[in-house]
Amino acid sequence: MTTIDTGAIGAAVPRAEFRTCRFSGLRIEANAEKLIKFNAVTAVLFLALGGLMGLLVALTRWPAVQILPADWFYLVLTGHGANVLLFWIIFFEIAVLYFAGAVVLGSRLAAPKWAWTGFVLMVVGAVMANYAVLRGDSTVMFTSYPPLQASQWFYLSLVLFAVGALIAVFVFFGTLVVAKAEKTYDGSVPLVTFGAITAAIIAVFTLASGAIILVPTWLWSLGLVTNIDSLMYKVVWWGMGHSSQQINVSAHVAIWYAIAAMVVGAKPLSEKVSRMAYFMYILFLQLASAHHILAEPGMSSAWKIVNTSYMMYLAVMGSMIHGLTVPGAIEAAQRRNGFTRGAFEWLTKAPWGNPAFSGMFLSLVMFGFIGGISGVVLGTEQLNVLMHNTIYVPGHFHGTVVAGTTLAFMAATFLLVPLLFQRDIIWPRLAKWQPYVFGLGAAGISLFMMGAGTLGVPRRQWDISLADAVLRFEFPPAAYLMMGLNGISGVLAATGGVMFIVIIVATILAGPRLDRPGAKLAFPLHDKARERVSTYGSEGTLKLPGTIILVTLFFAAFVLYYFVNWKYLSELWLFR
């Protein structure tokens, strides 16, 4: 971190400028504020581009519509994967890191010049990737499995992007050091920052794997390396590709905790358990690249089992714990706020009209029920054969990364924008509906793609009627129905996406100003005065019947779905 600090000791930095947010009481430094704004806005722009591509993909895979011709479909699908999964998510995550480092700790950002360097590299990489894809000679999907070869610009762009992101991650670490040294906080770092640290540690591992595999692949595209082994590539590439999903999980879980804290005043049931759950991620999440190698020749079963289960599902246990502690913390807080009747008054009287809260809660529920359960089933050594590379796979990860991560990031944006831009959400009525529209659409694309996948529909495929194939066969009519419903859900999700982007952009440009005396937030933050029974929440008195019911439901669904799939598997042909 010394290099970063030397950057920081440049001319102007020690004169850090701070302002204090009137609503949240957070101390915000000018450089941090600007960098968070730029990263977050850039993220939203890539979401707009990638989302549009997603809509086109969904409409093409709707057999009755099939809006794009085959070559454009594959091109746009490559662009969709890169723009949303890499650029939208990672730009936003950098904003989250800077927020959890500088703003939450009330510190200045270490080495703003390096932070800008990282940002510029990322932008250059992201723009270059789109250039490479639109040229038409890099239609290889964002996974770019060799021997299929893209143009050199494609690999180079991803390397540049990864280097930029890595710099940003180190700026975050530097900020932690600065905050500690300048004593901007007292005691241990807040849980949200702890979650961000988890994300950042995994990010280092991930981005390094990315560089290890993409640099030789880039040389190969230049003709300097003769051969890239297809299996080795997959193993290392997924060391980046899958682990980076755990950055997303860590980041959006941190956001769940943050929103619950800001909107209903939730505090973790116990810091120890929540932190331990994060720690499980650091220890074991790196392993899961095997999720993508289960149907591959050449890897041993022992390796597959240990790796795919993150060492006996200890990381899954981490997620299951957050799945309990987040709603548990909300229930405890709401009961403290006076909503104590029955098992669920705390939930029914929650601020459902606040898009930050509703987005967060929908994200929590859908990530667990749709993305989480399907992910464990898909990642089970033998069960994988049932759906590997069918459209079940995109179904699963739209449950994690769209219904989970993207929705959580959107929810966070509704809080971040007033905080950073000091402008209030411009159309609160529209904003109220946004999480529901997007959430319903995201749930639809996840579930219908999963459904179509169980009927054998392949992923990344332009025409399931196989009209021009030599040897034809028919997919069942239900598969066509599922793909049609997926198209309709895609339109819904895209509508929710447009609502989000329009509201955010309009708010930034023309939202009512909040830096005037007397200005009020359309979606108020938690008001301490609401806490009636201040003792509620101490270990002895805490009763959480609603959360118990919710996790019981979740567990029942999990076990049932798990065994249903073993039953399907047992009915297949025999193979060993």
Partner 1 sequence: MAITPPSNRLWWKEPIHGLEIGWIVISFLWGLFMFFFMIAWHFIGQQNLSTETYRVTTAAYEQKVIDFADEYQAMDENGDYLEEDFVPVVRPPAGADVYILARTYEFWPIVELERGQSYRVHLSSVDLQHGFSLQPTNINISVHPGYEHVMHITPTESGVFGIVCNEFCGIGHHLMTGRIRVVEPGTGDAATGPADEPADDSIQAEG
Total residues contacting partner 1 by CB under 8 A comes to 105
Task: Tell me which of ligand HEM, partner 1, none is bound by residue 406, counting a contact when its beta carbon lies within the kind-specific cut-off of 5 to 8 angstroms.
Answer: ligand HEM
Based on CB atoms, which residue is closest to partner 1, 71 or 182? 71
DSSP for 438-493, written as a single string: HHHHHHHHHHHHHHHHHTTPBSS-S-TT-TT-SS-----HHHHHHHHHHHHHHHHH
Cβ contacts of 532 within 8 Å, gap of 6 or more: 336, 337, 338
Q: Which stretch binds partner 1 (CB under 8 A): 201-209, 266-274, 395-403, 488-496?
A: 266-274
Residue 450: C-alpha distances to residues 76, 107, 392, 398, 479 (Å): 21, 45, 4, 10, 10
Q: Is 197 exposed, middle or buried (0-12, 13-18, 19+ CB in 10 A)?
A: buried
Stretch that binds ligand HEM, among 80-88, 225-233, 411-419, 465-473 (CB under 6 A): 80-88
- Structure-token match 């299951």, residue found: 320
Stretch that binds ligand HEM, among 25-33, 48-56, 238-246, 321-329 (CB under 6 A): 48-56
Q: Which of 81, 164, 318, 375 binds ligand HEM (CB under 6 A)?
A: 81
Interface size with ligand HEM, residues (CB under 6 A): 28
| Residue pair 195/321 in contact by the 8 Å Cβ criterion | no
Rule CB under 8 A: which of 534-563 touch partner 1? 539, 542, 544, 547-548, 551, 555, 558-559, 562
Q: Which of residues 55-84 bind partner 1 (CB under 8 A)?
A: 70-71, 74
In 3D space, the residue among 169, 78, 174 whose CA is nearest the CA of residue 121 turns out to be 169
404 binds ligand HEM (CB under 6 A): no
Q: Which of 138, 243, 406, 413 binds ligand HEM (CB under 6 A)?
A: 406
Q: Please, which residues have CB within 8 angstroms of residue 527's CB and are 6 or more apart in sequence?
A: none
Residue 527 interacting with partner 1 (CB under 8 A):
no
In terms of CB distance, is 427 or 558 closer to partner 1?
558
* Run of H or E residues at 20: strand 18-20
381, burial (CB in 10 Å: exposed 0-12, middle 13-18, buried 19+)? middle
C-alpha angle 478-482-485 in degrees, rounded to nearest 5:
135
Choosing among ligand HEM, partner 1, none, which partner's interface includes residue 261 (Cβ < 5 to 8 Å by kind)?
partner 1
Comparing C-alpha atoms, which of 494, 469, 472, 475 is closest to residue 391? 475
Smallest CA-to-CA distance from 156 within 199, 181, 127, 193 is with 127
* Residue 351 touching partner 1 (CB under 8 A): no
Question: By CB under 6 A, what part of segment 431-460 binds ligand HEM?
Answer: 445, 459-460
Q: How near is the Cβ of 253 to ligand HEM at its closest, in Å?
A: 16
Q: How far is the CB of 256 from ligand HEM (least distance, A)?
A: 17
Among 36, 41, 55, 171, binds ligand HEM (CB under 6 A): 55
Among 31-39, 57-65, 285-293, 420-428, the segment contacting ligand HEM (CB under 6 A): 57-65
Nearer to partner 1, 120 or 295 (CB): 295
Rg from Cα positions in the chain: 23
Q: Using the rule CB under 6 A, is 497 a contact of ligand HEM?
A: yes
Neighbours of 301 (CB within 10 A): 10
When CB distances are held under 5 to 8 angstroms depending on the partner's kind, the choice from ligand HEM, partner 1, none that residue 54 binds is ligand HEM
Distance CA 3, CA 7 (A): 6
Residue 246 as a binder of partner 1 (CB under 8 A): the answer is no
The interface region with ligand HEM, picked from 9-17, 26-34, 49-57, 516-524 by CB under 6 A, is: 49-57
Select the residue interacting with ligand HEM from 142, 161, 170, 357 (CB under 6 A): 142
Residue ranges in 380-439 that form contacts with partner 1 under rule CB under 8 A: 380-382, 384-390
Query: Quick one: tokens of 564?
Result: 């249903």
358-397 residues near ligand HEM, rule: CB under 6 A: 391, 394
Q: Quick one: which segment of 154-162, 324-332, 352-360, 367-375 binds partner 1 (CB under 8 A)?
A: 324-332
Q: Strands 18-20 and 27-29, how do they pair?
A: antiparallel
> Using CA atoms, how far apart are residues 400 and 151, in angstroms rounded to an integer?
30
Cβ proximity to ligand HEM: between 292 and 526 the closer is 292
The verdict on 61 binding ligand HEM (CB under 6 A) reads: yes
Burial 445-466 (b: 16+ CB within 10 A, else e): bbbbbbbbbbbbbebbbbebee
Q: Which of 39, 130, 139, 400 binds partner 1 (CB under 8 A)?
A: 139
Among 224, 473, 517, 529, which residue interacts with partner 1 (rule: CB under 8 A)?
473
Under the binding rule (CB under 6 A), the answer on residue 77 touching ligand HEM is yes
Q: Which of 154, 475, 523, 536 binds partner 1 (CB under 8 A)?
A: 475
Cβ closest to ligand HEM, residue 83 vs residue 221: 83
Which DSSP symbol is given to 62?
S
Helices (H), 81-229: 89-98, 104-105, 112-135, 152-181, 191-221
Describe the crossing of helices 355-366 and 428-454 by its angle, rounded to 10 degrees: 10
Applying CB under 6 A, which residues contact ligand HEM?
Answer: 51, 54-55, 57-58, 61, 77, 80-81, 84-85, 88-89, 141-142, 391, 394, 398, 401-402, 406, 445, 459-460, 490, 493-494, 497
